[in-house]
Amino acid sequence: MSQNNSESKEHRHHTRTALDLPAELKIDATTHAVWIQDISLKGVLITYPAQSLKLIEPQSTGHLVILSDPERIALLELDIHIVRINTGLIGATWGTIDLDNLTALRELLNAHFADHALLKRELFELVH
């Protein structure tokens, strides 16, 4: 399910924020050590090791825990749907998010987002 960058940007509704944090991606009974490359209000781009390639399938569901670095404290937990896989990258989204994790996501984005007015506008559009 390869998708070129111009196509994915055309369908993107939320601004992505670069993020370089460790995470754990659990699919079925297997937990993979991964890194978060970027995140938005509705999706995440995950970098994963090549040896995990055969174990992760498009359209899978999983549980993602984004961790602080270097303390490895859970910052955010999301049930995700994998929408695309490219070499070394997983694009994922979530259908719903609870209030605690939405608050944690907002704080994470706020800490890394350059345009706070744009973030407020996107949050307003997401809620309404």
28-45 per-position pLDDT tens digit? 888 989 999 999 888 999
State which residues form the domain around 24: 5-127
How many helices, marked H, and strands, marked E, lie in the chain?
A: 3, 6
Neighbour count for residue 40 (Cβ, 10 Å): 19
Looking at the chain, the whole-number percentage of residues with pLDDT higher than 90 is 41
State yes or no: pLDDT of 2 exceeds 70. no
pLDDT at site 107: 86
pLDDT of residue 93: 95
The tokens for 39 are 């995140």
Token representation of residue 10:
């055309």
**SS3 at position 25:** strand
Q: Which CATH number is 117's domain given? A: 2.40.10.220
Query: Total domain count for the chain?
Result: 1
> What pTM was computed for the model?
0.78
Tell me how far apart the alpha carbons of residues 80 and 44 are, in angstroms, rounded to a whole number: 9
User: In the beta sheet, which residues pair with residue 77?
Assistant: 65
Beta partners for 65? 24, 77
Whether the per-residue pLDDT at 73 is higher than 70: the answer is yes
